Structure 1
Amino acid sequence: MPPRPIHEPRRADCPWCGAPRLRTRLRAPDLRHGRPGTFTVDECRECAHVFQNPRLTPEGLALYREDGPVAADEGSAVRRRHHRDAARAVLRRCPEPESWLDVGTGDGAFPRAAKELFPYTSFDGTDPTPRVVRARRAERVEEAHVGHLTAPELTARLRARYDVVSVLGHLERTPDPRAELRAALTALRPGGHLLLELPDPASAFAAVLGKWWHPHGQPHHLQLMPLANIRAELEEQGCTVLTADRRSAHVPRDLARAVSLATGRSLPRPLARSLTATAGTADRTLSPFLCRTRFANSYRVVARKGEA
């Protein structure tokens, strides 16, 4: 039997709005691991949705899947503070949730930080990889579900179970982000709160750094969604958008990630680490100013599901 293709056919229209007006945003190899292949990222001229085109098939996604140790910066003090800030955005709206589902939780870094603000909340997690099982063993989540929330059996099992559902840095890795959003809302009880955090494809860093901008990360990032598209989808699903914020969602890592990708495989390791550390210092120094400008690299949304 011949091997199955790792790419779907190339699309001539936008997977979000269906418009046929596309432009090529960039072409990039696998900069992080150096595995073979060059990937094209297109942008819709109508709705500004950004997507991998042609997209990887399930076999291709499995081939390039990352399920190893958590990335170094996720355990850093900066990342942990960012997670607490994201949890605090819910605290102002829902101070005492009984149950919380973190979608795409990985090793459970977000629940670990959120528990500092919500010590009496029960956190569960889903993830496409077995990392979520490690999160349960580390007692960062109580229930661990391996797979996508869109799987029919998982959607049915978790229907209306949670006061809060968080989806942080996950939608950009999914083949169908709109379906993931709807599954997240299905897991919420009426009146429950949805917390989203996504890279902003309108960030000026995207144009300045190009293929070296971490959220462009090929082949793992399949979609980048503008805030306007997410807001419209949530409102169409009967949600009320309570906050939509770029300033506090900004993560100061753009320069360090770009330098790491550019030097990690071409320079001696000590020199690459030194340059990356210097870039990281610049990220943190400039962050209070950049987060107020078009260089803000992410946005955070808190929405409330309708009661009906």
Structure 2
Amino acid sequence: MSEPTYAAFHNQHLKHSVPVHLLPWSPDIRNAPAVLGGSDPLPVAGVNDYPLSHCSVRVFTPEGTAPAGGWPVFIFFHGGGWTLGTIATENAFSSNMCKRAESVVVSVDYRLGPERPYPAAVEDTVEALQWVHTKGPELLGINPALIAVGGSSSGANLAAIATHRAQALAIPLAFQLLVVPVTDNTAAVGDGRYPSWTENAKTVSLVPEKMVWFKNNYSPNPEDWTHPDNSPIFATDESFKGAPPAWIAVCELDILRDEGIAYGDKLKKAGVPAEVKVYKGAPHPIMAMDGELSHSCL
């Protein structure tokens, strides 16, 4: 049974909307909010955009004085199936994290499919990670020993990939926060590894057809889906051992539930502290709806 507040919101605002995966493709689709029901951004000391090679990052700076050694920093990747979203998509989440965690937040406006398919978003992820580590101490006042990464859905996919790529770059990470993550792009209805794809196939918001639409926009070549830079659950055991501690949020009524749980299990098996929180009665988008729902991560 769905969380009742979400059900009421869905019936009022979304029930009669045409799902995005059934609309003719146009980049203008990105002008609409990826998820309705979010809160307004909170005031912080500063919000500044910086260009990278192929994308930009938006930096949120906390109020007050940085601690000795510099601010902790959280690199965030927005959701939207690697297809939707803009640099402004996660302003509310980023400002909340900045203010409440007293951390610099770097939100990455990575390139999107179908115009810029895989591995463009991964390339932007890696560049953002390197930029924060090398430029961040002087430019942003951050502590390079206190870098965390995180994201929502497709963004959590990129954040998880960042934890594995960081090891090869000798960039230490302190933490990873994965909200309803995509960890295995080979998952499908009928997949015995992930029963949630079948159990929740008729749940609102993220039905299998929509997830496949997102995946094909981003990564149209099936031979790529088992690469660890595409599906981080396929990273080596050794790479999992080097991953930072994790907090993973999944929703009971989300098709992605079981691959998020499986990813947490792989971290635990590798000896990495990992907490997996299952939000009962909740569908996929509930974490971003803090303006309407008490379930929200914020």
Mark the structure with the bigger radius of gyration.
1
* Bigger RCO of structures 1 and 2 (CA < 8 A, at least 6 apart): 2
Q: Which bin holds the TM-score, normalised by the shorter protein? A: 0.3 to 0.5
Q: Normalization by structure 1: what TM-score?
A: 0.39
